[in-house]
Every structure is written in structure tokens, then in C-alpha cells.
Amino acid sequence: MKILIIGGVAGGATAAARLRRLSEENEIIIFEKGEQVSFANCGLPYHIGGVIEERSKLLLHTPTSLKTRFNLDVRVFNEVLKINKEAKTVEVSNLITKETYTESYDKLLLSPGAEPFRPNIPGINSNKIMTLRNVADMDRIIAKTKDLKNIAVVGGGFIGLEVAENLVEKGLNVTVIELGNQVMAPVDYEFAKMVQHHAAAKNLNILVNTGVEAFEEKGNEIELKLNNGTTILADAVVFAIGVKPENALAKSAGLDLGVTGGITVDDFMQTSDSNIYAVGDAVEVSHYINQAKVLIPLAWPANRQGRIVADNITRGNKISYKGTLGTSIIKFFDLTVAATGLNEKLLKRYNIPYRTVTVTRGNHASYYPGATNIVLKMNFGEDGTIYGAQALGQEGVDKRIDVIATAIKGNLTIYDLQEIEIAYAPPYNSAKDPVNILGYVAENMLNDDVRFINYDQLDDYLLNENAVLIDVRSKTEFENGAIPNAINMDVDTLRDNLDFFDKNKKYVIYCQIGLRGYLAQRILRNHNIYSVNLNGGYGLWKPLNS
């Protein structure tokens, strides 16, 4: 069998290696229009910052090593111009010799990836504006920013923020400009706010709700005209507002495209032509939670799909791809931020009713040195279905999100989260994991054992319900900063002060993270006093209001 693969990174490279392991006989040719195959694209920002010191470490394989080890025919600087699906051939241009030639195939795999989105803004073609997709782009950013001082990064997504962090670590002045009302789309607003506070502490300037209307070169600098009427000057711009699937080849070949513009594939990753498969950032996938058609350009799905396609090509369509959960993670200075499944923004967009719970707990036993807090949020349904989770902290964030992603794949509910028997010793955890706690609190909510309001409901609730705000932390904590108009009553004194409370009034309780607030609410509740607890406590409210 003769198998052609278009695109030699992530999904394409994975498929090729697996295809070879499954058969020594197939002829496998990889066409890559760039210089490199099988490079570590997720590592690019870290070489810009010097964290990954050696550029060569990013080049996981070369055409020669792929030939030697896997007997693959890898053709870099070879761009496929056209697919003739009836004839089962492709037309290829050798970008070095400028020659064009035809290759036939039995099976064709499209793994073209996605390209940085560059809208038609005046001045966008300035060579002071760079994007980051491959090793050549990375080299260009390193070379161009070498002796510069002020860099503007347009786009506050993962790539924008990773590049920004790395440039700051190199000592540059960086401003991130984000059109939306928050950075880091996979997490909800309050998490993005915490990220933005952390950025400020690291001297990274982030402007949200800010768009670029035009670029204009001014001598050695470039001016960004912003949609708020102001301008900023930079020495160079990294443009990273997102990516769009490379669908041109598929489209011109007459393959079906989805509503998102991604290449349409079935469960076996087969396109509308049965001899052509497609994987990675270029395909439209079903979201694992609700089967919505989405583009989720991440490395894990690309690799998984590549493996599946290799099996399906070699052994017939037997393995199906079950959809993408969108688990993602970013290191951002001292923080780790991660998410899986559907966030509140998406749940609202899809009209899925949900509840949300936020807990703050140590990454490990508080009495063991070095404990730091994780803020962990989960969105779930009335029936206990887990829709998604988000986490932020310094250590142990990845573990909790991976556990929840696993729980979702196991169809575990919020009740089951309580029963996840984690590995506990003081350096690693507490005897109740934050994930267990999420399950407990979520059940308390569904049982109406605890009532929450979210940070964005607080002001309206206080006004509309004429409610009284009670801070149940210690006097010292209260005096160090509290929500305006709160009355301080330490949870430990509550039982002695029940006379204070009016059974005809409503109370909003908060503490630092929600734990003492929960106990306070239980005490009041057991005395028939109505209260609601502020989700996430003062710890979450503070960054949202400063």
C-alpha cells in the first residue's frame, strides 16, 4: 500500500511511525512544506525565552533519522498543491528546485495543521509583525527581538501569553493586547482576572477589551492604533490572536468542510472521501461533552487521531475517535492554569443549565513545608454530570485537572468524585483531595445543604434581597481587608451571637475561601436563619475587585 501524508508534525508524524510499526511493507511518504518535520511546536516559546537553551532539542527527528529508524520517505520543502481524489494522486511542488511532480496514493492523510489568523488590518503586513507557528518563525522572533526593548503581543491566548512570559523573562517590556474582556479563553472570567493580577505583579502589561485598528511603521518603531482612541509604540509585534484550519487543499479537492471551517471527518477520522483521512488542528471535531462541532487545535488530540488513523488505514476502520474534551494547561510565570471540558462561557453559549462550585485548598498537607493554594472550579449539572473544571495555582494544578478529565472519560458524577481514592502522604496531598472536596461541596449544593451565590451575583443580591453581609473570618483578617459594608462576626463566636440574626432577613456569609463560611451557614441554617455563602470567598472576590 502507498500512503501519502501531508504535514509532518504532531498527528502526521505520529501516524507515520505507527503505520511503519504496523507494517514494514507500506510505502510511506511525508510531504512537509516547511523545513522541519516532527519538531516540538509546543516548545517554541521556551526557546524564545531561553528556558530551552538548545535549539536542536526542539528538532525531535530529521528526515534522515526518520528514514533510518522508520524507513519513511520525508520530503521537506515539498508542498502539495492539489489533490485529485478521483485519480488518487497529488501534485507536489519542490520548493527548492521549483519542480512539480505527481505522486499516486492508496491512502492519503491530511495533517496540514492550522495557520495564525491575520485579519485584514491596515499595516498588518509590516515586517515588524511576526507570528509563531514553526521553527523558522521562532528563529525570526529571536533574531528580531534581540536588541529590542518594547514588544506588543496581540492576543491573550495560550501562545500569546507564553511568548509574552518568555519575552518578559528575557527582560523586555511587553504589552499584551486582547480584544475580549479576558485573556486565556479556556478559563472563565474570574480565573483570567487572577492571571491578569499575576501578570501585573510580573511587570507584564495586559490590556483587555482592546483591539488594534491599524499598524503603522514609524521609523524603527511600529505604532498600534487601538480601538479606545489611544496608540502605543513598540519595536516589534507578535501577532497571536488565534489560528484557523489549513483547509484550502481539502476545499479545492472537494472534500466536505464543517461549519467551523475545519475538514469534516467521521468517527474514524475519514473525510468525505474514503481514501482520505485527516487529523489535527485542521479537522472539525465533536466536543466530548455535548458533541458540538468545534475546532480544538491541541497536541493531544492530534497525536491520538494520528495513532487511530494509522490503525484504521492498516487494519480497516475499527477505532473511533470519541471527541475532544479540550484539556489544556499553561505555565504562566509562577502559576499553572489548566482547564478541561466546558467552561461557563461555553455552557451559556450551548444553553446548558449548570451549577458551579469553587474551592480553594492546599496542594498538599498544610503542615508539610511549601504548601500553596489551588483554586479549583467545577461546572456540573443538576443530575451530577461533570461538565468541566478549571484550576489555578503554583503546584499540583495539572494533577487535579488530569484526574477530573479522567473522571469525565469514566462518566463519573460529582458523587463519584468523592470516592476517588487518591494517593495521600503529606508531601503530595491531604487525606481529602481538592477533587474529593469538589464532589462533597457539589453534593451539598444539590442537597441544598449549602447555598451559594457567585461573585457576579453579590451586588444584586445584597440590593434586591436587602441582605446583610457577614464576614465570618477573624477580626485580624477582617481588618486587613474586607468587602465593603460587611459586618465581622468570627465563625467561632456565631453560636454566642445568634440573637443578632433576624429570621426574617437574608444573610450573605463569606470567609477567606469558603470553608468557615460553610460551617457558619450550617450553624445559621440549623437555627432557621437564611443565608447564602459567597462562592470562593474573599480570596476570589478580592482579585475581581481590585
Residue 465 DSSP label: T
From 45-53, 100-108, 267-275, 353-361, give the range in contact with a copy of itself by CB under 8 A: 45-53
Closest among 36, 86, 91 to 249, alpha carbons compared? 91
What is the closest distance, in whole angstroms, from the C-beta atom of residue 237 to a copy of itself in the complex?
24
How many Å apart are CA 17 and CA 10, to the nearest integer? 11
Q: Which of 118, 149, 322, 505 binds a copy of itself (CB under 8 A)?
A: 322
Instruction: Provide the minimum distance between the beta carbon of 46 and a copy of itself in the complex, in angstroms, as a whole number.
Output: 6
Using CB under 8 A as the binding rule, whether residue 324 contacts a copy of itself is answered as yes
Name the residue type at position 468: V
Applying CB under 8 A, which of residues 74, 109, 359, 401 lies at the interface with a copy of itself? 401
Which listed residue (42, 121, 208, 446) binds a copy of itself by CB under 8 A? Answer: 42
Cβ–Cβ < 8 Å for 276, 314:
no
Residues 60 to 99: which contact a copy of itself by CB under 8 A?
60, 68-71
Binding mask 454-493 for a copy of itself (x = CB under 8 A): -------------------------------------xx-
Nearer to a copy of itself, 88 or 307 (CB): 307
Q: Which of 22, 23, 35, 42 is catalytic?
A: 42
As measured in angstroms, the least distance from the Cβ of 306 to a copy of itself is 10
CA dihedral 259, 263, 267, 272 (to 10 degrees): 100
Residue from 425, 456, 464, 545 in contact with a copy of itself (CB under 8 A): 425
Residue 425 Cβ vs a copy of itself, minimum distance, rounded to whole Å: 5
The full 3-state SS of 339-369, as one line of letters, equals EEECCHHHHHHCCCCCEEEEEEEECCCCCCC
Q: Is 511 a catalytic residue?
A: no
Other C-beta atoms lying within 10 Å of the C-beta of residue 130:
21
Show the site string, 175-214: x = touches a copy of itself by CB under 8 A, - = not.
Answer: ----------------------------------------
Site for a copy of itself in 262-301 (CB under 8 A): 288, 298-301
Binders in 487-546 for a copy of itself, by CB under 8 A: 491-492, 495, 518-519, 522-523, 526-527
Cβ-based nearer residue to a copy of itself, 35 or 449 = 449
Does 24 bind a copy of itself (CB under 8 A)? Our answer is yes
- Interactions with a copy of itself, residue window 99-158 (CB under 8 A): 158
Sign of CA dihedral 103, 116, 15, 136: positive
| Residue 313 CB neighbour total at 10 angstroms | 26
- If the CB atoms of residues 44 and 207 are measured against a copy of itself, the closer one turns out to be 44
How far is residue 342's CA from residue 11's CA, in Å, rounded to a whole number? 24
Size of the site for a copy of itself (CB under 8 A): 88
Distance (Å, whole) CA 30 – CA 8? 6
Distances in Å between the Cα of 452 and the Cα atoms of 220, 339, 354, 438 are 54, 22, 13, 14
- Give the residue with the Cβ less far from a copy of itself, 7 or 326: 326
Q: Which stretch binds a copy of itself (CB under 8 A): 217-225, 346-354, 398-406, 459-467?
A: 398-406
Please identify, using beta-carbon distances, which residue of 119 and 427 lies nearer to a copy of itself: 427
Q: How far is the CB of 536 from a copy of itself (least distance, A)?
A: 19
Q: Does 330 bind a copy of itself (CB under 8 A)?
A: yes
Minimum distance, C-beta of residue 401 to a copy of itself, in the bound complex (Å):
5
Stretch that binds a copy of itself, among 136-144, 266-274, 343-351, 404-412 (CB under 8 A): 404-412
Q: How many Cβ atoms from other residues are within 10 Å of residue 316's Cβ? A: 9
Question: Minimum CB separation from a copy of itself for residue 285, in Å?
Answer: 11
Residue 446 in the binding site for a copy of itself (CB under 8 A): no
Q: Do 363 and 373 touch, CB atoms closer than 8 A?
A: yes
3-state secondary structure at position 452: strand
Q: Smallest gap, in angstroms, from Cβ of residue 422 to a copy of itself?
A: 5
275 Cβ neighbours under 8 A, 6+ residues apart? 85, 88, 105, 106, 107, 108
Q: Are the beta carbons of 205 and 174 closer than 8 angstroms?
A: yes
Dump the DSSP string for 235-277. Answer: SEEEE-S-EEE--HHHHHTT--B-TTSSBP--TTSB-SSTTEE
CB burial of 20-55 (b: ≥16 within 10 Å; e: otherwise) equals beeeeebebbbbbbbebbbbbbebbbbbbbeebeee
DSSP H helical ranges for 368-474: 397-409, 414-417, 434-446, 458-464
- The residue count for the chain: 546
Under the criterion CB under 8 A, does residue 416 sit at the interface with a copy of itself?
Answer: yes
Q: Does 316 bind a copy of itself (CB under 8 A)?
A: no
361 near a copy of itself, rule: CB under 8 A: no
Residue numbers annotated as active site: 42
